[in-house]
Structure 1
Amino acid sequence: MIAIMLRRLAGLFLTLAAVSLLIFVVMDVLPGDPASITLGTSASPDTLAALREEMGLNQPVLLRYLHWLAGVAHGDFGRSYTYGVPVADLIAERLTVTLPLALMAILLSVAIALPLGASAAARRGGAIDNFATFFAQTSIAVPAFWTGLLLILLFSTRLGILPSGGFPGWSSAPWSALTALLMPAVSLAIPQAGVMTRVVRAAVLETRQQPYARTALAKGLSARRILWQHCVPNALVPMLAILGLQFTFLVAGSVLVENVFNLPGLGRLAYQALSQRDIVVMQDVVLVFAGLVIIVNFLVDLSYLAVDPRLRSESA
C-alpha cells in the first residue's frame, strides 16, 4: 500500500511539473507586453525598458521559468502588476470562496444523483427511471451560467428570498456567506448531477446482475436492502471516478458562474487578470486550478483502494 502511494505521489509531482511548464509557455506566447499595458501607450522607451527589466521580461524564457518555479516551490507567487500585492495573498483570499463553492456543488450533485440514479436502476422502465433520464439529458444540455441567470430571476428578482450576487465574507456573517453561495452551487451542481445520475444508474444496473445480488435475493432479502447494502456500495468506484472528473468541470465552470453572481473567487480573479493582461496572476491562478484538479484526482485514485479491496490485491 505504501509503495502504491509513493508511486502515485511521484506521478503527481511529475504531472505538476509538466503542467507548470505548459502554463508558462502558453502565457509567454500570448500577444501583448505587460510593461506596455501597465504604463500605457504614452510611456517613454526608457521608462518602458526600465519596467521590463524590473519585471524580468528581458531575461531568457528558461531562466524566467526556473525563477518562477523556484518561487512557487517556496510559496512566493510573485507580485501582481495590477494590484501591487503578493499573488499568494490574492489566491489565498479567493480560495475561501472557490473551495467552499466547489465543495457545496459536489455535495449537492451527490445528494441529487445518488438516490435518483439508484432508484431509477431499481425501477427500470418506470416513472422514476423516465424522470431520471429526462433530468440527466436536460441538466447536461443547459449551461451552468444560464441556470444561474434563471435562478437569479426566480429567487432574487421575483421572490426576493436570496441575494442575486456578492459575497459578505465568512468573518462577519457565516450564514449570509452560505446563502450567497447557495444559488451558484446549485448552478454548478445541476449539470454534474445529471452526469452522475446516468453513471450511478448504469453502475447499479450492472451490480444488480452480479451473482451476489441474485444470491441475496434468493436468501429472502428485500429488494431495498439488496439495493442499498449490496448494489450501491459496489457501484462506488465509477462514482468516485466521475467525481474526480466533475471537479475539473466545476473549476472550469466557476469562471463564468462567479462572474454571473459577482463572487470574489479564483474564477473571477482569472477573468480580471486576463482582461488586465496581468501575466503573473494569470499563470499562478491557472497553476492553482491545475494543481487542485491533479490533487483531487490523486485523492480519488487512492480512494479506489479504500472502497474496493479487489483493487488493493491486484495492485499488490
Structure 2
Amino acid sequence: MIRYILNRTFGMLVVMLLVVTIVFVIVRVTPGDPAAVMLGPDATAADIAALRDQMGLNQSLLLQYVQYMWDIVRGDLGRSIFLDQPVLSALADRAEPTFFLTLFSLLIAVVIALPIGILSAYWRGSLFDQAATTVAMFAASIPSFWLGLLMIQFFAVKLGWFPTSGYGGPGTGLMERLHHLVLPAFALGMVSSALIIRFTRASMLDVLGDDYVRTARSKGMGEGRVVLRHALKNALIPILTVIGLTAAVLISGAVVTETVFSLPGVGNLVVNAVLRRDYPVIQGALLIVAGLYVLINFGIDMLYILVDPRVRY
C-alpha cells in the first residue's frame, strides 16, 4: 500500500514539473517581446525595459527557469499587470464562486446520473433504458452556456425565481450567494451528468451478469441489496474515475458559464486576463487548474484502495 501511494505521489510530482516547464516555455516562445505584448502598443521603451527587468527576461533562459521554479516553490506566481496585485491573491479572491459552482454542479450531476445509470443497466433494453440513453446522448451534445441562456430566459426572466446574473453584493449572505449559483450549477451539472450516466450503465452491465451476483440472488438476497451492495460496489472504480474527471473538467470548464452568468469567479478572471494580455494571471490560473487536476486524480487513486483492496497489490 505504501509503495502504491509513493508511486502515485512520484507520478503527480513529475506531471506538475512537466506542466510548469510547458508554461515557462509557452511564454518564452510567444512571438515578439513578452513584455511588449503585455503592455500593449502604447507602451514606451522605458516601460518595456522596466517590465523586462522586473520579469527577469534579461537573464539567460537557464537562470530564468531556475528563478521561475524557485518562485513557484515559494508560492509566488507573479504579479498581475492590470490588477497590480499578486496573482495568487487575485485567484484566491475569485475562488469562492468557482469552488461552490464546481461543487454544486458535481453534486447535481452525480445525483442525477447514478440512479439513472443503475436503473438503466438493471432494466436493460426497456423503454426506460432507451429513454435514458437517448436523453444522455442529447444532454452530452448541449453546450452548457446555451442551456444556461435558456434557463435564464425561463426561470429568471419569465418566472423570476432566480437572479439573472451576479453573485450578490459585498454584504450579501452565504445563502443569497448560493441562490445565485442555482441556475449555473444546474446548467453545468445536467450537461455533465450525461457522461456519468453512460459510464455507470456500462460499468453496471459488466458486473450484473457475473457469478457472484447470481450467487447472491440464489441465496435469497433482495434485489436492492444485490444491486447496491454487490454489483455497484464492484462497478465503482470506473464510475469514480469518470466522476473525478468530471470534477476536473468542471473546474476548467466553468469559464464560459461564469461569463454567461457574470459570476466573479476564476473563469471570469481568466477571460479578462486573456483580453488584457495579463500573462502572469493566465500562467498562474493554468498552474492552479493543472495542480487541481493532479490532486483530484491522486484522490481518486486513493479511493480505489477503499473501494477495491486488490488495487494496493
TM-score (norm 1): 0.93
Q: 1:86 to 1:298 in 2, by over 3 A?
A: same
The answer to whether the 8 Å contact 2:109/2:190 transfers is yes
Q: Matched residue of 2:290: which SS?
A: helix
1:81 aligned partner: 81
1:187 aligned partner: 187
**Alignment partners' CA distance in 2, 1:67 and 1:222:** 63
1:207 aligned partner: 207
Counterpart residue type for residue 168 of structure 2: P
**Which deviates more, 224-233 or 118-127?**
224-233
**Which deviates more, 33-42 or 195-204?**
33-42
**Alignment partners' CA distance in 1, 2:189 and 2:253:** 10
TM-score (norm 2): 0.94
2:258 aligned partner: 258
The answer to whether the 8 Å contact 2:28/2:34 transfers is no
Number of residue pairs the alignment of both structures matches = 313
**Which deviates more, 34-43 or 95-104?**
34-43
1:196 aligned partner: 196
Question: How do 1:32-111 and structure 2 match up within 5 A?
Answer: 33-36=33-36, 39-111=39-111
Q: Which runs of 4+ in 1 moved over 6 A?
A: none
**Alignment partners' CA distance in 2, 1:247 and 1:203:** 19
Q: 1:202 to 1:50 in 2, by over 3 A?
A: closer
2:12 aligned partner: 12
The answer to whether the 8 Å contact 1:120/1:201 transfers is yes
CA drift at 1:229: 2.0
Q: Matched residue of 2:94: which SS?
A: helix
1:52-107 deviation digits (Å, cap 9, x = unpaired): 22332333333223222211211222211110011111111112121221111111
The answer to whether the 8 Å contact 2:248/2:296 transfers is no
Which ranges in structure 1 are unaligned for 5 or more consecutive residues? Answer: none
CA drift at 1:37: 5.0
**Which deviates more, 63-72 or 206-215?**
63-72
Q: 1:110 to 1:43 in 2, by over 3 A?
A: closer
**Alignment partners' CA distance in 2, 1:26 and 1:169:** 37
Q: 1:169 to 1:15 in 2, by over 3 A?
A: farther
Q: 1:186 to 1:60 in 2, by over 3 A?
A: farther
Counterpart residue type for residue 44 of structure 1: T
Q: Matched residue of 1:112: which SS?
A: helix
* Structure 1 position 220 matched with structure 2 position 212: no
Counterpart residue type for residue 276 of structure 2: Q
1:215-258 deviation digits (Å, cap 9, x = unpaired): 11112223233112221122111111111221232133211111
Q: 1:164 to 1:30 in 2, by over 3 A?
A: farther
The answer to whether the 8 Å contact 2:27/2:34 transfers is no
CA drift at 1:27: 2.7
CA drift at 1:189: 1.3
Q: 1:157 to 1:31 in 2, by over 3 A?
A: farther
Q: 1:214 to 1:184 in 2, by over 3 A?
A: same
User: Root-mean-square deviation (CA), in Å?
Assistant: 1.8
* Structure 1 position 167 matched with structure 2 position 192: no
Q: Matched residue of 2:291: which SS?
A: helix
Percent of aligned pairs with the same amino acid: 39
CA drift at 1:28: 2.6
Counterpart residue type for residue 101 of structure 2: L
**Alignment partners' CA distance in 2, 1:10 and 1:196:** 29
Q: 1:32 to 1:183 in 2, by over 3 A?
A: farther
